[in-house]
Amino acid sequence: MPSYTSVAGVRPPPTRAPETDKGLGWTGVGMALTVCVPLLPLAGAVIAIVTLARRRFRPRWAAVAALIVGVGATILQVAAVPSVVDGLREGVNDSIEEDTERARDSGEPREVSVLKLQTGDCFDSAVLRGLSGAEEVETQTVTLLPCERKHDLEVYRIFEMSGDDFPGQAAIDRQAQRCIKAFERFVGKPYGTSRFEVYYTYPKERSWQLLGDRNVTCLAGHPRKKVAGTLEGRRR
């Protein structure tokens, strides 16, 4: 009997080209090499891992290189973050300090940041004026003006705290107690018998971390009215 190799009219299916990750693989390589964009090298490294696991990208050395470069670039980016933050912090602090110095030199009432107050500065503050007891408020700016003009408060001492981690309110309160001792030396009369009141500003956790604020600033003023001139040596 005759033999047939195939049934008439039927052909074997065409051979399909094997699936590849060529586009995905080279995309990962490109992303891994883009070290100037945060997290992009990490994404490239992840893509490289996927293409290596699926074994559908050639040349494999390119995927391996993308993985190594992507991970290395990500490590460098993470290491650079503290330097970037420090640079931004220094820039902001320099700008605030320059503004405060200009206000101090002008001799005119100017709004300034409480972060850059110095011993001997006098200022007005509607927020801080008349505080009593354990009352607490938040303020970012005050109106700096010459001490010979009537003003609310005077900076008589600044204590700088240390450390990288925020110490907590209890540690700040202990530091602030030093303002009481410094008050007697400044005014010439014990705080308990003086007509003047003691106030202080202190860093919050966000200003500690973001702006490097470490100062507990001691302030003195009359609790009910403005005063003209310094309180140093008043003995009242």
76-85: pLDDT as tens digits: 555 544 554 5
Q: Is residue 117 part of a domain?
A: yes
Residues 111, 62, single domain; the answer is no
Indicate whether 26 pLDDT > 50: no
Q: Is residue 153 part of a domain?
A: yes
What average pLDDT does range 131-153 have in this prediction?
A: 84
Containing structural domain, residue 74: 22-80
What average pLDDT does range 148-170 have in this prediction?
A: 92
Residues 57, 123, single domain; the answer is no
DSSP reduced 3-state for 58: coil
What average pLDDT does range 154-174 have in this prediction?
A: 92
Q: Is residue 124 part of a domain?
A: yes
Residue 210's pLDDT is: 79
Residues 146, 181, single domain; the answer is yes
Residues 183, 117, single domain; the answer is yes
Residues 118, 69, single domain; the answer is no
Residues 113, 216, single domain; the answer is yes
Q: Is residue 209 part of a domain?
A: yes
Number of domains comprising the chain: 2
Indicate whether 14 pLDDT > 70: no
Residues 207, 129, single domain; the answer is yes
Residues 118, 217, single domain; the answer is yes
End-of-domain residue from the set 80, 95, 125: 80
Residue 4's pLDDT is: 34
Residues 127, 213, single domain; the answer is yes
What backbone phi and psi angles, to 5 degrees, belong to 113? Answer: -80, 140
In the chain, the largest separation of any two C-alpha atoms, in whole Å, equals 132
pLDDT confidence band for 7 (50 / 70 / 90): very low
Token pair belonging to 121: 């500065």
Q: Is residue 88 part of a domain?
A: no
Q: Is residue 140 part of a domain?
A: yes
End-of-domain residue from the set 80, 95, 122: 80
What pLDDT, in 10s, does the model give residues 174-233? 999 999 999 999 999 999 899 999 999 999 888 888 788 899 999 999 988 899 999 998
Q: Which of 146, 140, 136, 137 is nearest to 116 (CA)?
A: 140
Residues 118, 186, single domain; the answer is yes
More confident of the two residues 158 and 56: 158
Task: Write the CB contacts of 112 (distance below 8 Å, at least 6 apart in sequence).
Answer: 99, 100, 103, 104, 123, 141, 142, 143, 144
pLDDT confidence band for 66 (50 / 70 / 90): low
Residues 128, 167, single domain; the answer is yes
Residue 100's pLDDT is: 78
Residues 73, 138, single domain; the answer is no
pTM of the model: 0.61
Residue 57's pLDDT is: 47
